[in-house]
Amino acid sequence: MTGALETALALAHLPGLGPRRLAELRGQAPDWPQGWLAVLPAAPRDALRLWLDHPSRSPLSARIEGALEWQAAASDRHLLYPGHAAWPALLDELPDPPPLLWAVGDLAAFAAPGLAIVGTRRPTREGLGNAARFAGELATAGLCVISGMALGIDGRAHQAALDARGRSIGVLGCGIDVNYPARHAGLYRRMRGEGGLLLSEHAPGTRANPAFFPRRNRLITGLSLGVLVIEAAERSGSLISARLAAEQNRDVFALPGSLDNPQARGCLSLLKQGATLVSELDDILLELGHWAPAGGSPAAEPAPAAPGGDVLLDLLSSSPTPLDLLIELSGKDFGFCQQRLLELELEGRVTQAPGGWVRC
């Protein structure tokens, strides 16, 4: 019988099937495998049937076996897919979530609510200082700092979060084993060894490509509750991240800057468009409201659990309930809810379904 991981790997590697279409099909909850064979277009359907009936003749087999061997080679390597116990539920809100994530590091980084920090690869000294200050303060406050491992603001934010003994997630625009940019070899080692987590939707060995980075940005913002832009030129990939965040209903924060600094013009433009102006950590925590960890705005009173019950389990039924609604109804923070849901899922008491969580 095909396991959940092998099934996910097969679906992720089917030809002619992009993340958006695969997500749409997954939303129909087809049975495995006949339901999938019924809804797939011709080319991926034929590829799946060949793998199921004659795996030795299928090109999928080598890719699946290679992925499994990669994961087995080290204890901190993980293959994540929708339905995996550690899959970040926020990604399910995207119209095109990745069908597979290659991960290296500590999956506990997902337990903390995340905030993305992005900005120019050519920051001023003031910009680097601001990136270090806010990333360090966010990490100390219990948030996970998420960015793209690029030179400049990204790299400084990751470093500062680790320096504060906090969590940080780096999303790559290349294969999980490709050290890009080369100057960040030390940062890659720190992320892997100091509680950080590296993610990529690209298979090992995939070289960096400019076309990959805008799609990487959707994952940076998709994993986050909001994005903080620190120095960005008028035409900048950071502004793409801000736009994606707004489209994903995430909060957009921006630091103001000097009118004479070209690297501040993108932030000034975002502020004109309605981004939240940030000058200190509380500006972010207050805006995040009930998402914020301890130290932020006070949360609502927790919903009472039935005697001997579980506050989240008691809120679930056979109808899917989104994670954000569970947080609101329970009065618990993001980290608690995600961790408890994972525990309940491992116990076989709840499961993820299109639109949220359901009780088994």
Tell me if 322 sits within 8 A of 352, measured CB to CB.
Answer: no
Q: Domain map of the chain by residue range?
A: 4-74, 107-291, 313-359
Sign of CA dihedral 332, 360, 82, 321: negative
Beta partners for residue 251, in sequence order: 226
Element (H, E) at 19: helix 19-26
Separation of alpha carbons 276 and 83, rounded Å: 34
Separation of alpha carbons 294 and 291, rounded Å: 10
Write down how long the chain is: 360
pLDDT tens readout for residues 237-274: 788 889 999 999 999 999 998 777 888 888 999 999 99
Tokens for 264? 């501040």
Tens place of pLDDT per residue across the chain (360 aa): 478 999 999 999 999 999 999 999 999 999 999 999 999 999 999 999 999 999 999 999 999 999 999 999 999 999 999 989 999 999 999 999 999 999 999 999 999 999 999 999 999 999 999 999 999 999 999 999 999 999 999 999 999 999 999 999 999 999 999 999 999 999 999 999 999 999 999 999 999 998 899 899 999 999 999 999 999 887 777 888 899 999 999 999 999 987 778 888 889 999 999 999 999 999 999 888 755 554 433 333 334 444 445 888 888 887 778 777 788 778 787 778 878 887 887 788 888 876 678 888
pLDDT tens readout for residues 97-121: 999 999 999 999 999 999 999 999 9
pLDDT of residue 352: 82
313-359 fold: Arc Repressor Mutant, subunit A (1.10.10)
Tell me if 293 sits within 8 A of 333, measured CB to CB.
Answer: yes
Quote the crossing angle between the two packed helices 42-53 and 4-12, to the nearest 10°.
140
Architecture of domain 107-291: 3-Layer(aba) Sandwich (3.40)
Residue 212: which residues within 8 A CB-CB, separation 6 or more? 173, 174, 202
pLDDT of residue 108: 93
Task: Report pTM.
Answer: 0.80
